[in-house]
Structure 1
Amino acid sequence: MTAQTLDTKGLNCPLPILQTKKAIKGMEAGAVLEVLSTDPGSVKDFESFARATGHALVESDETDGVFRFLIQKSG
């Protein structure tokens, strides 16, 4: 399901969101981007990002301090 992974571990807000915007811009509608982050604030940031852009936050989870988000680009 995941077409591309963006590793933003070690980066703090707003860098994970800015890098996600750049990565998703070049993707086709319906494509899924996996984003990895260690910033605890990224959970709310990606929820807000999805609402504001219309992209779907398909999945969000955390394992050992690494947050993983699956974002599907809107059409």
Structure 2
Amino acid sequence: MSETVLDLKDLVCPLPVLRANRALRTMLAGERLRVLATDAASVADFQSYCRETGHVLVAWSEEAGVYSFSIKRRSGD
């Protein structure tokens, strides 16, 4: 399964979540978005965002200060 990659490094809260939200609205249910960010606050931001919107935070990781989030688009709309 392919995924769309959104490079949002060097952007700070709330821009990574806002840009990811915009991208997810254009995607079909079940498609995946990978977000790359450098803002440490994005970890809590994406966890809350997915919990509140119904998208699934499949996984997240950090390597050398770059956070990677794999988000599965919710089904239903």
TM-score range, shorter chain: over 0.9
Gaps of 5+ in 1: none
Report percent identity of matched pairs: 47
Q: In structure 1, what is the equivalent of residue 58 of structure 2?
A: 58
The Cα RMSD (Å) is: 0.7
Superposed CA offset, 1:5-30 (max 9, x none): 00100000000000000000000000
Post-superposition offset of 1:3: 1.7
CA displacement 1:17-45 (0-9 Å, x = unmatched): 00000000000000000000000000000
Indicate the residue corresponding to 1:16 in structure 2: 16
| 1:5–1:43 CA distance, 2 compared to 1 (3 A) | same
Distance 1:20 1:45 in 2: 11
How far, CA to CA, are the matches of 1:16 and 1:70 in structure 2? 13
Structure 2 runs not aligned, ≥5 long: none
1:3 and 1:32 in contact (8 A); partners too: yes
TM-score (norm 2): 0.95
Match of 1:72 in 2: 72
Segment drifting more, 47-56 vs 1-10: 1-10
